[in-house]
């Protein structure tokens, strides 16, 4: 098990921020948890804690962006996208300002904090906003690449980060490009398209399926918006069936984004692995991933169902 993507975010931000003095970091009294305190130690004069005031967090970020700075604003995903949705919509996306909303503690693996803190809607909320780029890195290497890209890109970005450690899956020479996915394993019978914490289990599922005579392609779809239409259509054409896997509600997230492409370009059977339109609860990440159907076995079962539908 590798590092949590929130840890990778904190380290990348501190490294990049030392050299780019236009980067300003804002946090809503959670810097030890979001790991922006790593940046604070390196660049204390460019770090600001706005307190438990997420709407103000986004608005201050928008003001800094309008003044030519590159604000990275962080809180838990539940609060960054939920409490401050209007500010992200009207103060960031509408004027297309250069604000990077990097939200941690997304998904069910927040664990013991329970349903109130487990954001299972944030991809849907951010994906629907015009001008917003939505990215869900899968591991440390990809998070590093995404933060480097975000610092150089001009425009609103939402980066979804997790609390728990994740498997290292990215190739050695990885670079992030919005709208492009990464094929991790080739396959001919079915394609598993995953993001974030579910990419590691998707890789393990492909290996398990190989033992049962099913050749499963695995695609890491970190760029949710823009999404890699070409890779999805190619996978549908070549393998004839798709399974999506995400640590998010099955409504409005990666699965919905992939299905929109499939129905428009190459209709094939699709199965969705994700939280089945319900709230979470308190428990360990492992317990919750099992209860809510987000494990390697759940991906294997979904593949078996979708292959039977071909």
Catalytic residues: 54
What is the three-class DSSP state of 111?
Answer: helix
Q: What residues form DSSP beta bridges with 48?
A: 26
Cα atoms in the Cβ-side hemisphere of radius 13 Å centred on 12: 25
Residue 88's contacts (CB-CB under 8 Å, 6 or more residues apart) are 58, 81, 101, 126, 129, 132, 156, 158
DSSP 38-106: HHHHH-GGGEEE--S-HHHHHHHHHHHHHTT-EEEEE-BHIIIIIITHHHIIIIIITTT---EEEEBSB
Q: Order of strands, edge to edge, in the sheet holding 223-225? A: 47-49, 23-27, 70-74, 100-103, 157-160, 133-135, 223-225
The alpha-helical segments, DSSP class H, found in the chain are 5-19, 31-34, 37-42, 54-66, 77, 85-87, 122-127, 140-152, 199-211, 229-239, 254-265, 285-291, 296-308
């Amino acid at each position: 098990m590798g590092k949590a993507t929130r840890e990778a975010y904190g380290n990348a931000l501190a490294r990049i921020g030392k050299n780019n003095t236009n980067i300003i970091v804002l946090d809503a009294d959670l810097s030890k948890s979001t790991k922006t305190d790593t940046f604070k130690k390196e660049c204390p004069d460019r770090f600001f804690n706005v307190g438990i005031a997420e709407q103000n967090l986004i608005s201050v970020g928008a003001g800094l962006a309008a003044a030519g700075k590159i604000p990275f604003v962080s809180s838990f995903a539940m609060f960054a996208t939920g409490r401050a949705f209007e500010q992200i919509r009207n103060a960031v996306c509408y004027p297309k300002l250069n604000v990077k909303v990097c939200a941690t503690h997304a998904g069910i693996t927040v664990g013991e904090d329970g349903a109130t803190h487990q954001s299972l809607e944030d991809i849907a909320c951010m994906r629907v906003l015009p001008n917003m780029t939505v990215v869900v890195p899968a591991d440390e290497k990809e998070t590093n690449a995404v933060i480097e890209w975000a610092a150089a890109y001009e425009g609103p970005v939402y980066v979804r980060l997790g609390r728990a450690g994740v498997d290292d899956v990215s190739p050695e020479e990885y670079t992030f490009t919005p709208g492009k996915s990464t094929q991790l394993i080739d396959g001919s019978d079915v394609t598993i398209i995953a993001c974030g914490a579910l990419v590691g289990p998707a890789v393990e599922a492909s290996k398990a399926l190989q033992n049962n005579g099913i050749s499963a392609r695995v695609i890491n779809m970190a760029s949710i918006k823009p999404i890699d239409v070409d890779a999805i259509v190619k996978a549908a054409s070549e393998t004839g069936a798709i399974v999506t896997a995400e640590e998010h509600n099955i409504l409005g997230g990666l699965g919905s984004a992939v299905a929109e492409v499939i129905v428009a370009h190459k209709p094939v059977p699709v199965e969705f692995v994700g939280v089945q339109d319900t709230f979470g609860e308190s428990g360990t990440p492992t317990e919750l991933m099992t209860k809510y159907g987000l494990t390697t076995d759940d991906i294997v079962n979904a593949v078996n169902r979708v292959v039977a539908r071909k």
